[in-house]
Amino acid sequence: MLSFKILLLLSVANGAPIILHKLLDRRFDWPVDFGWVWLGRQPVLGPSKTWRGIAGALLASTAAAYLLGMGSLIGLVAGALAMAGDLFSSFVKRRLGIPSSGMALGLDQIPEALFPLLWLKAGLHLSYFHVLWLAAAFFVMELAISRVLYRLNIRKQPY
């Protein structure tokens, strides 16, 4: 049951920005990197990483953790770390020349799960094996959910 709750929490944190984008389109989508470029070449993060998405992820993960009986603080920190992982992925992808919303299998899924899982490891007494298993499960689950969101016309790409 704990594994299910953790996977649901990670899904809520990572899915909230996508849902908000669908609901609000371009309203309130101020880019986290303010449109800056790295050494004059690529964007630091890109236009799809917004303050609205981060705020939505923090609010949604906090509420989800509370409703799952895990505590609001766990949701807030897990959401923040999921977003940190997502920002890290975007930063690396831009350095590799992958455009915003471009696919990088593994890099798009693992940090946004692994960052919060490593923090949850201590607080929830998870083993490293459990952390790795949950990261792998999130990887597979996120790819499947992305395809469903694409078919529902919520995501622009099926990944």
Query: pLDDT for 35-50, tens place per residue?
Result: 999 987 899 999 999 9
Mean pLDDT value across residues 48-75: 98
At 157, the pLDDT band (50, 70, 90 cuts) reads confident
Q: Does residue 147 surpass a pLDDT of 80?
A: yes
**Residues 12, 87: Cα–Cα separation, whole Å:** 17
Where on the phi/psi map is residue 69: left (φ > 0), alpha (ψ -120 to 50), or beta? left
Please state, rounded to an integer, the average pLDDT across all residues of the chain: 96
The one-letter code for the residue type at 2 is: L
Q: Spell out the domain ranges in the chain.
A: 2-151
pLDDT of 119-134, one tens digit each? 999 999 999 999 999 9
The pLDDT of residue 156 is 85
Q: What whole-number percentage of the chain has pLDDT above 70? A: 100
Mean pLDDT value across residues 141-158: 93
The pLDDT of residue 89 is 97
The pLDDT of residue 149 is 93
Q: What whole-number percentage of the chain has pLDDT above 90? A: 92
The pLDDT of residue 94 is 96
Q: Does residue 152 surpass a pLDDT of 90?
A: yes
Could you tell me which of 158, 159, 138, 156 has the C-alpha nearest to residue 47?
A: 156
Mean pLDDT value across residues 47-73: 97
**Residues 65, 8: Cα–Cα separation, whole Å:** 9
Mean pLDDT value across residues 61-88: 98
